[in-house]
Structure 1
């Protein structure tokens, strides 16, 4: 099966060259430059979605970490990926488990399976009933519309309140399945990784909040698909992060919105440029002269800064020689 490859290179060519290369075991395409020969235990792996890949960013946090740590850092960011995507690609484990450390991003839950949609771990979903393949936003918008149709017998004012606060039972059931499966996918992923791991939260919001750190709590809404998803990582709340944190050897929280939204400039002329998002996905066709979704270059700098010292400590512990016991003390 050929996995969906986001056409970031075609879409963003005016702004940045991602220097894509094909990883030989999985035959998946990742952001370059292609790593040279990697000595076992002599490199770091960062795996995640578009945020790790570094859309519209010349030097994403894996590249910055390579400079900070003085060792190769392999960027395994893949557009639209969730934990299930990496769990179903065990051919990557040779590369991953050969690393001294593995940084695992907290990825979106909209790229997860449930009884209604099959994801394959990617954000393009297949409706199990019709076989139609659509974006997660369109898939869940249809689900919300079906739920709304079942509320037509209610008075209008009551119906509006139910749509916002409670939602249809089928919508709540699918969301609960999605979140449980997301946690299970992370368990499978971490079970396969033998190298030390660090879980990275990289977002404009904190895990317990729905949208930005200006909000006070997570409020699950059901009246609009974007409001229901929340900011990246979509559908992920505090209890989900708490469930997977113990699976990793370390945890780093990088909550930042520095430099966002990011104005986009041509790397050829230096002038402000509009990017046609439809060159990646037809359903996203829109000209945009700023990046308001993916982490800005400054946010990548913040992530690298937050990760650098914890990774140094873990690398130092891993490389420290074990002291031999004193024979007399053993006796």
Structure 2
């Protein structure tokens, strides 16, 4: 485990932009020409606290450029609203899309920040009517809000969760349709896909995404890769992660280098299909 002085940023993410996008992605920057793979996703794809996240490991093992378009806490919305990201993904030989949770996107119950999708912006009149006793001005993050609503009104919350699931399937289909390249879905989590949306719960990613939801996307993608972290990877904790003491709690909530290595290995067979010699 690596530590730096409190408040330091010990890992250089070499931030870069692609086109006119307002997002700062993890570098080093790659040229969007020739044969390359693109990786869209959230915190795991970005590789927070990880020296060599799985897109970089795939690049090492394939010898082909891999463009990391991961964005911390991303939902589908941030990519759907970014023309330059969609263009970069469309020009790739293949695009890997990490399965994100269903909570970080706007829907008929609430809106999220257009770029920081984990930020709760406003409840709609529908949600305020369902949870009339709740003061929504107290919430700044989607997970906090949803956890509270699940606690105060489990039956009512089930309606909200169903809406998020249906919106997730529709939004993911739209995102895949707007990428003019083969899209491979990547399930990267500490638990395998489940049949029930309330298992293991809002605290675990990808929140609310079930086996049925993944099957609904199977017909429009080039494949689904299951990179569920094994017990050894889960037990390794923050070993090998690079963070300050101040960031230790945040790092402990994420998958470590062993899980990234396993994800890269799981992706290699289908990646070779599109980028092999």
| Same fold, TM-score > 0.5, yes or no | yes
Q: Count residues in correspondence.
A: 257
CA 1:68/1:11 → structure 2, altered by over 3 Å: closer, same or farther?
farther
Q: How does 1:1-331 map to 2 (within 5 A)?
A: 13-14=9-10, 16-35=11-30, 37-40=31-34, 42-119=35-112, 120=114, 122-129=117-124, 134-147=140-153, 167-168=154-155, 170-208=156-194, 218=196, 220=198, 228-257=201-230, 258-260=232-234, 261-263=236-238, 275-277=245-247, 288=249, 291-316=251-276
Shift of 1:245: 2.2
| Ranges in structure 1 where 5+ consecutive residues have no aligned partner | 1-9, 148-166, 210-217, 222-226, 268-272, 278-286, 320-331
- Three-state SS of the structure 2 residue aligned to 1:228 is coil
What is the alpha-carbon distance in structure 2 between the residues aligned to residue 56 and residue 220 of structure 1? Answer: 29
- Three-state SS of the structure 2 residue aligned to 1:259 is helix
What is the alpha-carbon distance in structure 1 between the residues aligned to residue 241 and residue 265 of structure 2? Answer: 27
Shift of 1:131: 6.3
Select between 236-245 and 114-123 the one with higher mean Cα deviation. Answer: 114-123
Structure 1 match to 2:133: none
TM-score of the two chains, using structure 2 as the length reference: 0.83
What is the alpha-carbon distance in structure 2 between the residues aligned to residue 266 and residue 229 of structure 1? Answer: 24
| Ranges in structure 2 where 5+ consecutive residues have no aligned partner | 1-5, 125-135
What is the alpha-carbon distance in structure 1 between the residues aligned to residue 209 and residue 241 of structure 2? Answer: 34
TM-score of the two chains, using structure 1 as the length reference: 0.70
CA 1:11/1:64 → structure 2, altered by over 3 Å: closer, same or farther?
farther
What is the alpha-carbon distance in structure 2 between the residues aligned to residue 231 and residue 191 of structure 1? Answer: 27
What is the alpha-carbon distance in structure 2 between the residues aligned to residue 52 and residue 12 of structure 1? Answer: 22
What is the alpha-carbon distance in structure 2 between the residues aligned to residue 173 and residue 256 of structure 1? Answer: 30
What is the alpha-carbon distance in structure 1 between the residues aligned to residue 244 and residue 83 of structure 2? Answer: 38
1:200-242 Cα distance to aligned partner (Å, 9 max, x none): 1111111126xxxxxxxx4727xxxxx6315211111111111
1:66-125 Cα distance to aligned partner (Å, 9 max, x none): 111111100011011112221122332221111111011111111122333212471111
Q: Which has the larger radius of gyration?
A: 1
What is the alpha-carbon distance in structure 2 between the residues aligned to residue 248 and residue 219 of structure 1? Answer: 22
